[in-house]
Amino acid sequence: MDIEDIVQLEQQYVLQTYKRAPFVLERGEGVYLYDAAGRRYLDCVSGIAVNALGYGDPEVLAALTAQAGRLAHCSNLYHSAPQALLARDLVQRSFADRAFFSNSGTEACEAALKFARKWQRVNHPGEDRAGIVAFTGSFHGRTMGALAATHREKYRQPFEPLVPGVSFAPFNDVAAARAAIGPHTGAVIVEPLQGEGGVNPARPEFLCELRRACDEQGALLIFDEVQCGLGRTGTLWAHEAARVAPDLMTLAKPLGGGLPIGAVLLTQRVADAIVPGDHGSTFAANPIICAVARVVLQRVSAPAFLAGVRERGRELEAGLNGLKARHPIIRDVRGCGLIWGLELAVDAAPLIGRGYEHGLVMANAGDRVLRLLPPLVVSKEHIDEAVAIIDQVLATAE
Ligand SMILES: Cc1ncc(COP(=O)(O)O)c(C=O)c1O
């Protein structure tokens, strides 16, 4: 089928909720994507922080095909090994005692907010503790609860009224967060590194202070690591840098190696409030995806793999800071591991377009931040290639 025909079909029949890039992707190999015209692109998006192991990883493929041949779906009415084993693997590598599975990041956030509400009902009966504190720049998803805790007005306003009780405090502002968390706060939800909001790392003391304020006020602390978790920042969990643990943590994007899965990890103290029937999902904990997720988790959590992410991250940071020294339109370089944002004095969209022409895919985070999220398996040569292309692209904007 012709490329123009595919684009035309998409525009005629698919609900237009995305502005798509002007090409049709056909396949991926390693850290490269190939379009239907045979053009190759170095991937610095990873399907928005999803394809941590790149494309066509043989171990992922083997787990996928083996489980697909055994049992593709069975519902949560029954036991199945991949779900139980994945839950164990996640718990053994985290602060948590239990895992709940969903199909996406927004559903994981939705579930975490529900679990927090239920915990407050059980532990503080009769009290008004329905408040949720979220932060400026936050993004937690598109469903009504997660959306209510998502800061950007443009995403929320057309769909109001959303879930009530959410207030926003300034991100990374310790005093303001302390003032916002009070006796009516049931939960505080925060990304240890904001992705969509512009690649903004939380300061360690900010996360520690949230922990302290939640403990003092009897609120639960939720870390949303849907985008920044699972090795992206160079540690398995982004919050490790702050040496502080949440009560609940949401995961999704990279967990399924390109297949849809989300998870909430939680402590036993929170889990004690949840009983059968409180929450559920037909598709969640799909056996094929759980089998693949076990491979992803095992690979990404290996100390040598994480050391590689940190090493590549340092190379990328050095390259981007070199660009900042040469290109005054770069206002700031932020990030860690393999998630980086270039805050620009101009809109990022035209530069992303020019990146395509040079064989590089990049994303934005807000209007003026160019976001780089390469697969975690990139090499130094790939980093050098990306930086060289961004250099050329920036030159065209000046
Ligand atoms: C931090 C964070 N939370 C939640 C979500 C929602 O995830 P999903 O798109 O899988 O629903 C995203 C998506 O970008 C995210 O970055």
Distance 271 CA to ligand 1 centre (A): 23
Nearest CA to ligand 1 atom 16: 227
> If you measure from the C-alpha of residue 191 to the centroid of ligand 1, how many angstroms do you get, rounded to a whole number?
10
pLDDT at 1 over 90: no
Instruction: State the closest ligand 1 atom to the C-alpha of 262, by its place in the atom list counted from 1.
Output: 10
Sheet with 360-361, side-by-side order of all strands:
25-29, 32-35, 40-43, 360-361
Pocket test for ligand 1, best of 46, 196, 226, 283 (most atoms within 8 A of CB): 226
The answer to whether 273 touches 112, Cβ cutoff 8 Å, is no
Full set of structural domains in the chain with CATH: 3-56+303-396 (3.90.1150.10), 71-300 (3.40.640.10)
CA gap 223, 248 in Å, rounded: 6
Tokens at 382, concatenated: 């790939």
Nearest CA to ligand 1 atom 7: 105
Share of the chain above pLDDT 70, in %: 100
Residue nearest to atom 4 of ligand 1 (CA): 140
For residue range 11-55, list pLDDT tens digits in order: 999 999 999 999 999 999 999 999 999 999 999 999 999 999 999
Q: Is the confidence at residue 398, as pLDDT, over 90? A: no
The atom number, within ligand 1, closest to the CA of 260 reads 10
pLDDT digits (tens, 9 = 90+) for 49-80: 999 999 999 999 999 999 999 999 999 999 99
Q: How far is the CA of 381 from the centre of ligand 1 (A)?
A: 30
Q: 300 and 96 in contact (C-beta within 8 Å)?
A: no
Distance CA 95, CA 112 (A): 15
Burial of 38 from C-beta contacts in 10 A (0-12 / 13-18 / 19+): exposed
Atom of ligand 1 nearest to the CA of 225: 1
Q: Which two tokens stand for residue 367?
A: 């209007």
Residue of 103, 113, 199, 227 to mutate, ligand 1, most atoms within 8 A of C-beta: 227
pLDDT score of 43: 98
- What separation in Å is there between the alpha carbon of 259 and the centre of ligand 1? 14
Alpha-carbon torsion (93, 96, 102, 103), positive or negative:
negative
Nearest to 265 by CA among 35, 37, 93, 79: 93
Sole residue written with tokens 């890039």: 21
Rounded to the nearest angstrom, the distance between the alpha carbon of 241 and the centre of ligand 1 is 21
Place of tokens 């029954």: 78
pLDDT tens-digit readout, 262-277: 999 999 999 999 999 9
Cis amide linkage into residue 161, ω under 30° from 0: yes
Q: Which atom of ligand 1 is nearest to the CA of 48?
A: 14
Q: Which residues line ligand 1 (CB under 6 A)?
A: 104-106, 109, 139-141, 191, 195-196, 224, 226-227, 252
